[in-house]
Structures are given as C-alpha cells and as structure tokens.
Structure 1
C-alpha cells in the first residue's frame, strides 16, 4: 500500500500502479458521496430512494473489496504495524476528536467516546479489524465461506452492536475476504489481458445486470420501502432490531451479499482499464472520504433538505457530490489536509529492535 491512503494499494511505490484500481477507487468513493448526499431526500422521493437503494446495493461492498484486494494476508511486520497506526488509528483519533469538538461548538454535549465512530469514521475501525483478522482467516481452508457464516450469524445477535463498529465489521467481512480472494484468483491479470472484443461482451452483460437491478428496484420501490430492505444493505444491525426475528432472516442477508459480489465484479468490468482523467484522483480516496462529511454536514443538519423538494434538487446533489469529490482530490486540498489525513507522528516512534541488545539467538535444537 502506498502512503497516499489506507484505502489504496499495499504495493510498494516502485511497483507500477494499475489504472483500473485507481479509476475504481475514485468512482466508488464518489458513489459514497452521492449516497450520503441524497439520504435526506429518500423519505419524500421514490426516485431518490430508488437511486439510493441501487447505489447501496454495491458501492460499500466495492469499497471494502478493493481494500481487501490490496491487503497482505501474512502476519504484519513492524512496518505494517507502523502503517496501521499512521494510516488508520491516528486519523481515526484525529477526526473523531474533531467531530466531538464540532458537535460541542454547535450546542451538543462534549462526549469524547472513541468506541462509537462518528458518521463515516466506522470504515477506519472496520478496516483495522479486517486487517487484523485476515491473517487468521486465511489459515483456514475456506476463509470466504467462513466469513459469510460469521456475517450471517452476527445478524442474529443483538448484543453485537455499533461499539467499535463491530456489527458492521462482521457484516461486511465477506466482501473484504472476497477482495482478497480476487487477487488469489488473479482475476485482474486475466481481465487486463482480455481482447477488446471480449471485453465489450462482458461489459454488455454488466450493463444489463445493473439496468435490470435498477428497473426492479424502481418497479417495486414501495414494497422495498415497506420491507425495510435499506436496513439489510447497511449491515450494521441485528435483524430483530428492525423487525426480522424469523429464523430465515439470515437468508436475506445471504441473498444481498451474493448479489453484491456479482455487482462488484460487474462494476469492475465497467471501469476503464487505461489511464483516464480520474486515475490520479483515485490516489486521494482517503482525503475524499474523510473530508466530504464537512461539506455535506451543513446540508444534512440545517433542515434545508427536509420535506418535499423540487425536482432539480436530486440531480443538483449528484452534481455537488461529483464536484466535491473532484475538489477534495486536488493537490492543494491534499497538501493542506495531509497532517490530519496522513499524520506521520514521527515524534511518537522510537527505534525498535527485534532482539534486545546482548541477546544471542540460539539454534532451534539448543533452545529449552
């Protein structure tokens, strides 16, 4: 992973970046912005709710799978542990503190609780848990199947809640493992070597899948609203909490996960394989992810988007999301925000040694 983002690759800077993945990162994080931007509209607008469910069917799974694709499954060495601190833990503490202070300034109580992630910060805690868990999971014969069982099982346990974002981390765990498995299957190499003629056949199928999904959601939007399908797409609550106490509730999560895995593959098929104007922007996904909430927060909290809205508001929020994603990718924003998003904190680290000075490592058969 390069140092630009905890959401980026784990490859060394010397290795050539694959444009496909940077393109995918930027598109995926922009979909995250759109989903957050239109949330206030879905209560009054079936059109907005249709788009919301369509996006949420795959955009977070894509984001998680891309992170899993570039995560090493070996036990972490000192360098990787260092990166867990600087890329995940330190940014989480910094931004959780900022949000606590901001809410206090706006009239709320000052409650500094690092066990409960503010808004989008859940992803950092979940990413930390996934990276810690992956080396243990891959020791097992069927890590993907086991992760699916864990995800489904967690939904039956109401005591697994949002503390340290555990419910979401377990719920979305299969997508992280699925991303890792895609690298083991070498799907990217196969896809990049495929001829253009075959590429467009697969892309036509992917477009058909997305079109069919959008059509089905749109035609059944009232039913989906009644069934609270949105709650299944968030992966952050036990089934019984939103009215699904039946034994078969886990089957719905399984169906949603299988659909999402198919949509992950279809999404990647539609992403350009070559360098585009968004490729460089895809190296700044952490900046976009952590900073966009400060842009959207006033719109979400001031009541501007409450109640019925004119027809232009939905496309306006989409345009705003894309523009925000572009703006937060710019070099100026990255330079100004780097101390918060990518804190080096060199003063916290000392010189570590694998073996204490003066200790002699004995050969294996001489140890007691």
Structure 2
C-alpha cells in the first residue's frame, strides 16, 4: 500500500534526521522551539519524486498528440502520481480531529492557500489564456487549486471515516456513484473530490506494517517488472482507451461511455493505481539523498510550477517542431524537473511562506496549553498532488 509513514528504515540503521520547528503560537502563547519527530527520508524522497512527475506530466501535455511513446508515459504517470499524493495525505491525516488546534492548522495550511492561489491563478490566466474577463470564483477551483479544495473536504471528514467499520468499501461506492452523476457540476470540483476519495481513505487505513511490506528487497525487485509491464500495457492502450479516466474528473457519460463503465472503471483503476503506487514506494530510496530536504517543500513546487507551465504555453513553446523530436522531449522533461526542483528549495519557501503557512493568530481564540500542544504534524507533512490537465 503506497503511502509514506514516519520513522521507517530499510537496511542498516541510519542516523536519524531531526529538524526543529517553532511550535504553533496558539492564541499568543509563547512559540518555543521544540524538536520534532525524526522525518522519515522515505516519505520526503517519495514526495519529491512525485512532484517532479507532476511537473513533467504537465510539460508533456502539448507533446501527447504527436508521440505515442510520450502519451504512453503520460498515461502511466497519471495512473499513479496523484493517487500516491492522496494516499500519503490520508496517511498523515490519521490523527486529525475537530480540536481547535487541528482546525486552525487546516484553515491556515489548506483553506487560506486555496483562496490565495485561486485568486492568483485567476489574475494570471487572464493574461496567459487571453481571458481578461475571467471572474474569481472560489467555488470553481482553477487549474492546480482543486487539490486544496478536495484536501480540505477529505481532512475535515477524517473523523467520520475513522469511525466507520468499512470505510474503504463505502468510499469506493461513493466514487462509483460519482461516475454515474454528470450533474454534480463544477462546485469545488466535487467529481475529483469524490472519485479520488478512496485513495485518501486508503491512506487513513494504512499502518506502518503495510509500508514495511513494500520495503522488502523482494518488493523492490518485483516493482521493476510491474512498471515495465504497466508501460507496455499503457503503450498498447493508447489507441484503445481514453486515458481521461485517470483524471477522475468526469462521469462515464461525459467520456462518451455507457453508464455501467463508471463503476467498473472505478474498481479497475483503483486496483491498478494502488499496485503502481506500491511499486513506486518500493523503488523510492530509503536513505537521505541530495533531494530529501526538498520533500518538505512539495506544496510550494506544486502550486508555483503552474505559473511557469501557463507562461510557457502562453508563448506557444510547443509550436517549435524541435520539441517534438526525441531529444526535444527529453529536454522538456529535464527543464520541467529542474524548475520544480528549484521551487521546492528553502530560499523559495522562505519568500512565499506567508502565502503557504500564514500564522493568523489574530483570527483564532486563545487556546489553553493543552490545546496548544495539538499535533500539527499530519497537516505539515501533506504532499501536493498532481493535478489533472486543465
């Protein structure tokens, strides 16, 4: 089950990586510096690699039509990178409850960034898409912001899912029913929220032992033929299947398919994506690497790289025939990976921290020390998921 959990190691023991955080200043309480739990390198490595795939997937979008290979790779990436982010988000949301501290963190870490970037992307796309009259609508998530709207809903409902006896089957039924309902509309991108819900609930259900299973040497060896076989199937399916099913943002009717396809594809894609996420996590390095620290900044890379993608598309870079050659596609891939890597670095995070992690102590009631110690670890570890194309 691909999702990352804190404190897991593989092979010889490594020196734990610790970092200090400033405790949330709950209602004016002293923000004393305290030592956080050791960050598990596996999860930071996985988040970084997943966000690179997000950026690369967006860069490949204009190249899909003229290359079956690029389309096959694009389909494969979309089959697991978003589910991986969501499963991880669910895993790190297990401790969420409706206590004041957790609600504060949900608002400042998810709701406020959603509003900030919904407005920012609206103004930016007025220029990039040539739509000067585009209006701001907080109910219709624009481009990458849908994930924050969905995460807000998923995390807010976490106590409900944790209380149910069979949460995953119920989430799968809801996702299947969503594929039968074209009338859901665009409000808060509920199609994506409901159809991706099973992955979040799966993450909530995972335990450390599930990650230990995919950390074994046998799992890493098996992951290689799994991805090789998935790529072959993806290449075969390019001319036979609508890869938009992996975006989880439409009903069966919207995809010109019979209604009964929806529930069937929901179960089939869930099984396929879960296996691929497990294989992905199995292949992720367990130890600290040069990019481990970047895993803490994936939300920055996620939300900021969209401005570069939109600007590049505004200047019609894909109209250059060279980018449609094998070497051109490789170059585009490298540039996308380099840009999103830079956006996850500490200097960028310092510049934009106020937009991503506002303290907003003035907006909340003063809490007692008991509430002030509320664990915000889950929200802080939230990765950024991969958006479906706009």
What is the TM-score of this pair, normalised by structure 2? 0.81
**Stretch moving more, 98-107 or 238-247:** 98-107
2: CA distance between counterparts of 1:190 and 1:252? 27
Aligned 8 A contact 1:233 1:256 in 2:
yes
- Corresponding residue of 2:93: 71
Q: CA deviation at 1:167?
A: 0.8
- Corresponding residue of 1:200: 217
Q: Deviations over 1:98-154 (max 9, x none)?
A: 112223355521411111111111000010111112211222111011111111111
Which residue, 206, 210, 231 being the options, matches 1:187? 210
Q: CA deviation at 1:352?
A: 5.3
Q: Deviations over 1:21-53 (max 9, x none)?
A: 111110111111111111111122212101100
How does 1:313-352 map onto structure 2 within 5 Å?
Answer: 313-351=328-366
Larger radius of gyration: 1
1:260 aligns with 2:282: no
How does 1:109-258 map onto structure 2 within 5 Å?
Answer: 109-183=133-207, 186-189=209-212, 199-224=216-241, 228=242, 230-258=243-271
Q: CA deviation at 1:215?
A: 1.2
SS at 2:254's partner residue? helix
Q: Deviations over 1:188-213 (max 9, x none)?
A: 35556xxxxxx332211111100001
Q: CA deviation at 1:350?
A: 3.8
- Corresponding residue of 2:82: 60
Q: CA deviation at 1:307?
A: 7.9
2: CA distance between counterparts of 1:13 and 1:318? 38
Runs of 4+ in 1 over 6 A off after TM superposition: 1-4
Q: CA deviation at 1:253?
A: 2.1
In structure 2, runs of 5+ residues without a counterpart are 1-5, 7-19, 23-33, 370-390
Which residue, 25, 37, 42 being the options, matches 1:15? 37
- Corresponding residue of 2:72: 50
Aligned 8 A contact 1:44 1:307 in 2:
no
- State the Cα RMSD in Å: 2.2
What is the TM-score of this pair, normalised by structure 1? 0.86
In structure 1, runs of 5+ residues without a counterpart are 5-11, 193-198, 355-368
